[in-house]
Structure 1
């Protein structure tokens, strides 16, 4: 019953009526012990499945230190506090105040946090997985953007296909034979994303192109994600999670960049920009359809869709029910303005400030989420209805 209610919420969250807000709050209240127990470790309930290793590909939402390993040239502040202040006490290369979703997933399965590939030294974590994600990575190759004279907007050239190439190169160090690798990978969980967000940030956020001009890019990005997933399955992956996009219309960076005097541009309940959230849902619909086709091609592989949108949209409709009393569309760390986001004074730069308690905020720095938000999302993905088929 609860599963059905949550799925309905994910499908109907765009309603503008106060009646829907009341329904949403009632349904979330029914789930309150599940979604708000931030003091309980994500691993306090062990999943039924047991994975012996995790391999991750993606961008800053799951990078645990690869970008930092190369010096973080386009975003040097990620190498310093306040990044990492909540849990680690120092900057680890994670674009948050603490843990990411991938950290909580690893914890839930009794595995250590994934070491970044570019810092890999063959240590004790070798058999429990590897993280190939890179801050700023795109689904499409860098050459695509250089051909469009958009190369200067890239934070890295280490796109999704580059990361898959690293994996193919690295896998030979794990097992000596193909048969042994396939046996090992069958007990592994592969996470392909979230990826694609930066492909949209370039034309939308950095260039300011209208959404209509960016929509034709979506099928290309979906194709790149499916190609990478296919390549991983061909290497022996049997359990693959492919996340969708998040509600970018709720990001302080977008809310600042596209401030409007037209009240109809904003959702009256959440304050998010409806058009950009609809764009995220368009991406997700195409991805879901592509994964259905991929499942038919690889019926023996467990290909799971992770609904990052559904797992996070509740934060914006009823933030206080999740403990987010500080704000849902205002960044904890930033340089001021109505959403505490200033491109001239980003989090960690001179002129920026940090909130007293990041756990009361959904957003960390304008483009990324807080550890508290990631924790709630992870619970919904691991134990709740937001991974299909279930994780």
Structure 2
């Protein structure tokens, strides 16, 4: 199996200066002039700003309890973190309001500045695909296809004609993911072999590609499509698949090799598909966001990024290796919380801290982890400080 590895050159002085300014801007965001007037977001728990929490008959009340949301909002919001997510930092930097979750929409909200359709636990493939294989999604019945359905339902309130939608969405940013991670997480954590899960990858990429084309057909002109994170570095995998064989772990990070190989394959196939779509839609900006390599920086060198407690142990969780216990998860009785989440990469074993998401957002807005770079030339960085 061949994998594609992207080589990144160091920042030059100009990019480094912009990088420093952007970090300051994200630390204290203020409205700025920007080409983008709205954001529409799709995905799973890495992007969900409250849809899972609001779903009917949802028994996963862990998101409604402290310490979720403790850092920025000071109360739970339905985000799977201690604070803001990548999509929140992007919105704030662009001078836009934080995206309301679709399931909380009401007449007092301005839909035209953006909506978040992402749902925690969501998959790219429809649930029928997994049910036929005996795989259960304990979190949600909503897939990427369902989120596109919500988007279509909302269209009449956003624009009144095909031409009107194209005019409106010309200055909108569409964030498609991260999505696809749960298509692998759910089966792997339920005992499905890695060989079988690898066979899902082409179907997952096909579903993502179909969603991209649907949005383009409705007028989307700029789409950011993230790849998947290195799940072999996530606490839940390190705890569930502990190995006595040192060869199963990456040197320098302590991450498990085989889950990361799966993700590299997914990201490779996704990038090849995005290349195909760029040729098919030459007037549309289709941007790959390299979450994998952006995150691997602080899994390799956590101290360099201020993560003094390391990258692998969870900040919030139960007793056990890496401060993770599947039966005593974050916010459950018996779980404990670290003193300072900003010193950790990992939040609850499956998601990252606000500090880690800030780094990811910075790498997307400035680079070099977007292909091609996101055009933020119309944003005044100095007004943001």
Whether these two folds match at TM > 0.5 is yes
Show the counterpart of 1:188: 172
User: Matched residues in 1 for 2:58 and 2:219: separation?
Assistant: 34
Farther off after superposition, 89-98 or 333-342: 333-342
User: Matched residues in 2 for 1:167 and 1:222: separation?
Assistant: 20
2:222 pairs with one of 239, 258, 261: 239
Q: Does 1:131 align with 2:131?
A: no
For residues 127-151 of structure 1, the C-alpha deviation after alignment (integer angstroms, 9 at most, x for no partner) is: 2011100011010001111222223
User: Matched residues in 1 for 2:328 and 2:18: separation?
Assistant: 38
2:163 pairs with one of 179, 196, 206: 179
Show the counterpart of 1:156: 140
User: Matched residues in 2 for 1:267 and 1:292: separation?
Assistant: 30
Q: Aligned to 1:118, what secondary structure does the other structure show?
A: helix
User: Matched residues in 2 for 1:33 and 1:329: separation?
Assistant: 29
Show the counterpart of 1:67: 52
User: Matched residues in 2 for 1:293 and 1:163: separation?
Assistant: 24
Residues 310 and 45 (structure 1), Cα distance of their counterparts in 2 relative to 1, 3 Å cut: farther
For residues 51-74 of structure 1, the C-alpha deviation after alignment (integer angstroms, 9 at most, x for no partner) is: 000000000001001111125724
State the Cα distance separating 1:298 from its structure 2 match.
Answer: 1.0
Residues 48 and 212 (structure 1), Cα distance of their counterparts in 2 relative to 1, 3 Å cut: farther
Q: Aligned to 2:323, what secondary structure does the other structure show?
A: coil
Show the counterpart of 2:209: 226
Q: Say if 1:139 and 1:224, in contact at 8 Å, map to a contact too.
A: yes
Q: Say if 1:239 and 1:302, in contact at 8 Å, map to a contact too.
A: yes
Q: Does 1:272 align with 2:288?
A: no
Show the counterpart of 2:7: 8
State the Cα distance separating 1:170 from its structure 2 match.
Answer: 0.4
2:196 pairs with one of 182, 199, 213: 213
Farther off after superposition, 287-296 or 167-176: 167-176
User: Matched residues in 1 for 2:241 and 2:57: separation?
Assistant: 27
Q: Aligned to 2:89, what secondary structure does the other structure show?
A: helix
Residues 286 and 35 (structure 1), Cα distance of their counterparts in 2 relative to 1, 3 Å cut: farther
Equivalent runs, 1:221-370 vs 2, <5 Å = 221-370=204-353
Q: Aligned to 2:83, what secondary structure does the other structure show?
A: coil
Q: Say if 1:200 and 1:214, in contact at 8 Å, map to a contact too.
A: yes
Show the counterpart of 2:382: none
State the Cα distance separating 1:340 from its structure 2 match.
Answer: 1.0
TM superposition score normalised by structure 2:
0.90
TM superposition score normalised by structure 1:
0.89
Q: Aligned to 1:130, what secondary structure does the other structure show?
A: strand
Show the counterpart of 1:17: none
Show the counterpart of 1:13: none
1:379 pairs with one of 328, 349, 362: 362
State the Cα distance separating 1:46 from its structure 2 match.
Answer: 9.3
Q: Say if 1:331 and 1:339, in contact at 8 Å, map to a contact too.
A: yes
Residues 226 and 120 (structure 1), Cα distance of their counterparts in 2 relative to 1, 3 Å cut: same
For residues 137-183 of structure 1, the C-alpha deviation after alignment (integer angstroms, 9 at most, x for no partner) is: 010001111222223x3311110000001101101111222211110
Q: Aligned to 1:362, what secondary structure does the other structure show?
A: coil
Residues 165 and 385 (structure 1), Cα distance of their counterparts in 2 relative to 1, 3 Å cut: same
1:117 pairs with one of 97, 102, 106: 102
Residues 75 and 370 (structure 1), Cα distance of their counterparts in 2 relative to 1, 3 Å cut: same
State the Cα distance separating 1:297 from its structure 2 match.
Answer: 1.1
Q: Say if 1:333 and 1:355, in contact at 8 Å, map to a contact too.
A: yes
Q: Aligned to 1:269, what secondary structure does the other structure show?
A: coil
Show the counterpart of 1:15: none
Q: Say if 1:35 and 1:322, in contact at 8 Å, map to a contact too.
A: no
Q: Say if 1:47 and 1:382, in contact at 8 Å, map to a contact too.
A: no
Q: Say if 2:222 and 2:285, in contact at 8 Å, map to a contact too.
A: yes
Show the counterpart of 1:3: none
Q: Aligned to 1:223, what secondary structure does the other structure show?
A: helix
Q: Aligned to 2:81, what secondary structure does the other structure show?
A: coil
State the Cα distance separating 1:88 from its structure 2 match.
Answer: 0.4
Q: Aligned to 2:311, what secondary structure does the other structure show?
A: strand
User: Matched residues in 2 for 1:295 and 1:76: separation?
Assistant: 41
User: Matched residues in 1 for 2:352 and 2:57: separation?
Assistant: 19
Residues 270 and 385 (structure 1), Cα distance of their counterparts in 2 relative to 1, 3 Å cut: same
